[in-house]
């Protein structure tokens, strides 16, 4: 039988991290011990009180059935309270909050609610690959907004051609940013709101890393800006904040009509989040937040150890104020992919090529701080040996 994939699927590049996993398997097969700085998956355990909550609620028979499409009301109330306390933004638990099976799921599905065949969406470049994938699968066209060092990795909205801005239907943003670790302030978010209002563009802000901040920096919410809720939504996740990546629980907040559209997509495609995980999410939001402070202390110590070590061997990289990524300019004579391959094969250090996040990422590689400090120190020594060997 001849199986022909859809044209939309053919337009998708191989998912970056799946391709990197294949490369790492090949190198491991040659007997190389790899230090993996590739995928951003926290190595710190989920706090015990959250795990205990899952254990407790997973034994209850009422949680073994289909969950509500809208998520538990108790979860939505807890999310509204967390949002009010953290950002000072009021949210209606009934209309302006929708739990997700991880924010990735919502980001990938929201284009299906608003994008028609041929519609234009604005996406950051470099950016999280799911933005482009979701738009492509919905039949839309992506227009890249370059994130360049000269503009602190913020898109220059004034450089977007008026003909594109008039046709654009939605925009993805992400601060604190993956992969660049860049941060944004309320002034920038106000510019985004004005631009979106002027051109009738839906703003989808991915704030998955809002709680991973250092040196006194506190990330703002896009919805803190007056009028932002009229034109946009914000995605959050418990994954990075509470070390719950494998649990798959996130949420979207903001404009009620946009959220209702995503909700309609979801009712046709999934059956909600396992209720015991929702109850564990409630415990995460309402329980002690001390583990977050401990996690941030660990990441900051790793950041300082790694960046200072790289600087010592001649690779000067700014310390990020947020996320657990290091966005490092490539060394002279390398493309991002060539540098990643060389580090992997000759130093046994796995990193991520910037070009995998978009063509404007080609001058950089991304390295994750989600491994033990001693391993980061060893990675620095391996890179030093690699550099000396030419």
Query: In order of start, what are the domains of the chain with their CATH numbers?
Result: 7-45+290-389 (3.90.1150.10), 59-286 (3.40.640.10)
Length of the chain: 390
Rg, Å, the chain Cα set: 21
Sheet holding 364-368, edge to edge: 325-329, 364-368, 352-353
Rounded to an integer, what distance in angstroms lies between the CA atom of residue 282 and that of residue 75?
6
Q: What are phi and psi of 304, to 5 degrees?
A: -65, -45
Closest CA to 328 of 345, 314, 344: 314
Instruction: Write down the pTM of the prediction.
Output: 0.96
Place of tokens 């070590």: 309
Name 31's Cβ contacts closer than 8 Å, sequence gap at least 6.
Answer: none
Q: Is 183:176 a contact under the CB 8 Å cutoff?
A: yes
Q: What mean pLDDT value characterizes the chain?
A: 96
Please report the pLDDT score of residue 354 as a whole number.
96
Q: How confident is the model at residue 180 (pLDDT cuts 50, 70, 90)?
A: very high
Please report the pLDDT score of residue 268 as a whole number.
95
Please report the pLDDT score of residue 105 as a whole number.
97
Q: How confident is the model at residue 260 (pLDDT cuts 50, 70, 90)?
A: very high
**pLDDT single digits (tens) 20-59:** 788 888 888 888 889 999 888 999 999 999 999 999 999 9
Q: Is 169:122 a contact under the CB 8 Å cutoff?
A: no
- Statement: residue 184 has pLDDT above 80: yes
Q: How confident is the model at residue 18 (pLDDT cuts 50, 70, 90)?
A: confident
């Amino acid at each position: 039988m001849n199986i022909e994939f859809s044209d939309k699927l053919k337009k998708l590049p191989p998912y970056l991290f799946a391709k990197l996993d294949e490369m790492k398997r090949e190198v491991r097969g040659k007997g190389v011990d790899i230090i993996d700085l590739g995928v951003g998956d926290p190595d710190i355990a989920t706090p015990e009180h959250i795990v205990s909550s899952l254990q407790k609620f997973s034994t209850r028979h009422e949680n073994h059935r289909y969950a509500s499409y809208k998520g538990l009301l108790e979860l939505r109330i807890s999310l509204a309270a967390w949002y009010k306390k953290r950002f000072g933004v009021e949210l209606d638990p009934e209309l302006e909050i929708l739990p997700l099976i991880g924010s990735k799921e919502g980001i990938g599905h929201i284009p299906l609610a608003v994008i028609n065949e041929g519609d234009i969406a604005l996406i950051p470049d470099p950016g999280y690959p799911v933005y482009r994938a979701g738009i492509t699968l919905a039949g839309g066209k992506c227009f890249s907004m370059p994130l360049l060092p000269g503009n602190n990795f913020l898109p220059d909205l004034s450089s977007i051609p008026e003909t594109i801005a008039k046709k654009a239907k939605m925009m993805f943003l992400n601060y604190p940013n993956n992969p660049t670790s860049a941060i944004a302030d309320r002034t920038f978010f106000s510019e985004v709101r004005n631009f979106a209002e002027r051109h009738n563009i839906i703003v989808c802000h991915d704030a998955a890393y809002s709680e991973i901040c250092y040196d006194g920096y506190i990330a703002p919410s896009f919805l803190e800006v007056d009028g932002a809720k009229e034109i946009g939504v914000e995605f959050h996740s418990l994954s990075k904040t509470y070390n719950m990546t494998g649990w798959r629980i996130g949420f979207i907040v903001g404009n009620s009509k946009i959220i209702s559209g995503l909700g309609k997509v979801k009712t046709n495609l999934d059956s909600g989040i396992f209720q015991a995980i929702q109850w564990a999410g409630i415990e995460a939001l309402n329980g002690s937040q001390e583990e977050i402070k401990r996690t941030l202390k660990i990441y900051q110590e790793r950041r300082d150890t790694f960046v200072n070590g790289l600087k010592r061997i001649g690779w000067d990289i700014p310390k990020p104020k947020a996320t657990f990524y290091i966005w490092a300019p490539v060394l002279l004579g390398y493309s991002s992919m060539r540098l990643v391959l060389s580090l992997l094969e000759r130093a046994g250090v796995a990193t991520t090529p910037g070009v995998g996040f978009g063509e404007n990422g080609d001058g950089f590689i991304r390295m994750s701080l989600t491994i033990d400090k001693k391993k980061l120190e060893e990675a620095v020594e391996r890179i030093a040996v690699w550099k000396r060997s030419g």
